[in-house]
A and B are shown apart, each in its own frame.
Chain A
């Protein structure tokens, strides 16, 4: 008997209802974002999704035009979904495990912005380099 002899059936759990609930939640956040500019985040790890529902969510949101990658304490993947202003942000640790999985409703995910502290540090380093080459 080989592994192929064990039949595998993907469970169809699409109709559970949590997916629709989440899409409605995203729609209401988007409405508010358009009206007031207020951003929002949804923690996907707090939702009781079946693996099939999670995949359905990926399909439902699709992929849009922009994607970005952070390389810091493990990778992070960020992309705009098929719906502009709705971003999927997944943070990994160095071992590649998901440590945070978020839907962010914003112009740009907050973590992509340069941080003032880092900018100041950068300037210091640049000035230091310049002073050495004088």
Chain B
């Protein structure tokens, strides 16, 4: 296996123009929730990086996370997966099978020891010696521990890998646990959601490539740029909530008028994710836009958190005054600044200097 070339070399070989690359970087900036003017800085950084080796292990899962990623927008899929990283092992997507496939994984682990990114989707069953999920005769636990040893960092894709997810729900017959329950000595980034937003998966990879480090994480190990605020903070129905206009059933006048779904069980106020702005299906919409409350799939234990249709116990206590002021008064800065984590970027924007990747670091 030869050392991977830089992204710039690879794109140039393929006849991709600089202008196309800048367009791609503009999309990346949007995806990473960075200031849109940072496309040039991102381009400069990305041009120089060597494409890292990526090993993707799928454990106890439904393949929804891979579906989510492979249905994501094209610069993310085609360029991210096939140009920006070298996906050396993914048992659903790779052409090789059987011994050749396992050999590819072992080769990548040896060749890029200490440098590869390990992506994991699915939880890991521990009960009865881990027999409930095995690949090539080896348990998920065994494979995870082996692959984690040489990884630079681990990305837990989806709520199952991040928090145990549905396999971990009551009564958890297989003893399923999250990656972070097993691996304690590596940086782990949790991209929760069932499935997670594809742009968030690729946005995190892009961040790693651009900055050579993982993005800032919240207390549950999730990237703040995407999980820093609740669905409720950024929901377009929020003014209805503030005005006390609540739909009482899914087909009443309120529901037809687009009123708040709080009383119909919306978990938006306690759910941290980027659905309200990043949206789904190529930016078409998100569940609340389709008239259904948020079910809270990016939070731990979401499946056991009571009925999806029972209202949350009390009015949300974690309503940030910033977001409230923004919606009520239409405060310019707060609305335009986006996620809370954008404060720093706004500062960089306001300092009126040319952005470099260093300015963007630590986001």
Contacts and interface: CB of A to CB of B under 8 A. Distances in A.
A70 B36 contact: no
Nearest to B229: A48
Interface residues of A, number: 50
Interface in A31-67: 38-43, 45-51, 53
A115 B18 contact: yes
Given A24-B332, A97-B283, A115-B19, A9 B73 contact: no
A46 B33 contact: yes
A94 B342 CA distance: 29
Given A95-B74, A111-B23, A115-B18, A25 B282 contact: no
Nearest to A9: B256
A73 B30 contact: no
B17 A115 contact: yes
A77 B28 CA distance: 18
Given A22-B335, A99-B75, A115-B22, A41 B35 contact: yes
A129 interface: no
Interface in B1-52: 16-20, 22-24, 26-27, 29-31, 33, 35-37, 40
A131 B234 CA distance: 60
A72 B283 contact: no
Given A11-B257, A13-B236, A70-B19, A45 B330 contact: no
A52 B119 CA distance: 39
B336 interface: yes
How many interface residues does chain B have, given as a range?
Answer: 35 or more
Contacts of B17: 72, 115, 118, 121
B257 A51 contact: no
B332 A25 contact: yes
B338 interface: yes
B335 to A, nearest CB: 5
Contacts of B258: 11, 13, 50
B336 A91 contact: no
A94 B74 contact: yes
Is the contact region of chain B dominated by helix, strand, or loop, or is it mixed?
helix
Nearest to A113: B19
B154 interface: no
Interface string A14-27: 00111011101100
B313 to A, nearest CB: 25
A96 to B, nearest CB: 8
Contacts, number: 142
B20 A72 contact: yes
Interface in A67-102: 70, 72-74, 76, 91, 93-102
B21 to A, nearest CB: 9
A98 B282 contact: yes
Interface string A105-125: 000001100111110010000
Interface of A: 9, 11, 13, 16-18, 20-22, 24-25, 28, 38-43, 45-51, 53, 70, 72-74, 76, 91, 93-102, 110-111, 114-118, 121
Interface of B: 16-20, 22-24, 26-27, 29-31, 33, 35-37, 40, 73-75, 79, 234-239, 256-258, 276-278, 282-283, 285, 289, 326-332, 335-336, 338-339, 342, 349, 352
Given A70-B19, A73-B20, A117-B18, 19 more contacts: A11-B257, A13-B258, A21-B326, A28-B332, A39-B37, A42-B36, A43-B338, A48-B234, A48-B236, A48-B276, A72-B23, A93-B73, A95-B282, A99-B31, A100-B30, A100-B36, A102-B26, A115-B19, A118-B19
Q: Which 8 A-B pairs have the closest CB atoms?
A: A17-B330, A97-B282, A93-B74, A115-B18, A41-B36, A46-B338, A50-B236, A99-B27
